[in-house]
């Protein structure tokens, strides 16, 4: 880890970001707004996972967004690609080593609410780890017993809501349930998720929240809604639908993120 941090410190040339963003589906174009870019493919950073999912670039981008120094992880590794819940452990530890203090996580998700259609943006206020997997399994010492009562930082959440208001963009809020994937949920699972209190479902983010809290980072998260949950419309779900709809809500979430950093 130290070697990667040292390499990045050298490449950043004095830039010291305190904020980082993980870009999910539909947010990749946000890197184009970063000024003074330093772009490094994950393949050049030892230990960084290279995602095999279309729509995830797999590169670290650093620079200034809205005048604020920022690091973006354009693309992530998912549990379903490797069967490893801690696939993003090293990237998040590296962010901590670089002095990052807050991490904003983004993803695409399926809506469980009729009033939250595809194209919407949902701020994640809490989550349900339905997969049962945990990225801290195997860690040593008492640090692994991470409290999750306030996993999503109240201050960052307020910043996101205020930024959405200033942008005139509706921002939903709700609970995100993590399914392992890669297959989509069944109608029965969606009915169960709604009964348990979930507002959206997806295949990422929760392990990263746990890891970020383990390393002491403040966390905020938001979902771009790409579809309704299985059985809600009668239509079959597909990754193509996710890729097609992600840019719609992605543009809205990108505007909110730029406003936060501005």
* Prediction pTM value: 0.93
Closest CA to 163 of 19, 12, 16: 19
The residue range of the domain holding 202 is 2-261
How far is Cα 172 from Cα 201, in angstroms, rounded to an integer? 14
Tell me: the pLDDT tens digits for 84-126? 999 999 999 999 999 999 999 999 999 999 999 999 999 999 9
pLDDT, one tens digit per residue, over 168-205 is 999 999 999 999 999 999 999 999 999 999 999 999 99
Say which CATH number the domain at 114 has: 3.40.50.1580
pLDDT at 55: 54
Task: Please tell me the total count of domains within the chain.
Answer: 1
* Residue in this structure with the two tokens 């990237």, named with its chain if needed: 91
For residues 208 and 24, what is the distance between their CA atoms, to the nearest angstrom? 12
Are 237 and 186 in contact, with CB atoms under 8 Å apart? no
């Amino acid at each position: 880890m130290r070697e990667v941090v040292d390499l990045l410190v050298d490449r950043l040339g004095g830039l010291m970001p305190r904020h980082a963003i993980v870009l999910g589906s539909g947010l990749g174009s946000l890197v184009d707004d970063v000024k003074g870019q330093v772009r490094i493919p994950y393949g050049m950073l030892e230990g960084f996972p290279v995602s095999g999912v279309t729509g995830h670039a797999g590169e670290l981008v650093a620079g200034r967004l809205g005048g604020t120094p920022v690091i973006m992880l354009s693309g992530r590794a998912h549990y379903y690609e490797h069967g490893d819940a801690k696939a993003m452990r090293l990237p998040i530890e590296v962010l901590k080593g670089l002095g990052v203090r807050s991490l904003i996580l983004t993803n695409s998700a399926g809506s469980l609410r009729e009033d939250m259609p595809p194209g919407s943006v949902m701020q994640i206020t809490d989550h349900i780890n339905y997969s049962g997997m945990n990225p801290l399994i195997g860690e040593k010492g008492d640090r692994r017993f991470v409290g999750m009562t306030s996993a999503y930082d109240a201050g960052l959440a307020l910043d996101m809501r205020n930024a959405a208001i200033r942008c005139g963009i509706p921002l939903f809020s709700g609970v995100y349930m993590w399914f392992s994937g890669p297959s989509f949920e069944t109608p029965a699972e969606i009915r169960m998720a709604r009964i348990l209190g979930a507002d959206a479902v997806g295949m990422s983010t929760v392990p990263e929240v746990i890891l970020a809290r383990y390393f002491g980072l403040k966390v905020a998260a938001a979902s771009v809604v790409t579809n309704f949950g299985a059985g809600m419309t009668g239509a079959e779900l597909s990754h193509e639908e996710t890729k097609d709809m992600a840019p719609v809500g992605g543009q809205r979430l990108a505007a909110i993120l730029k406003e936060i950093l501005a």
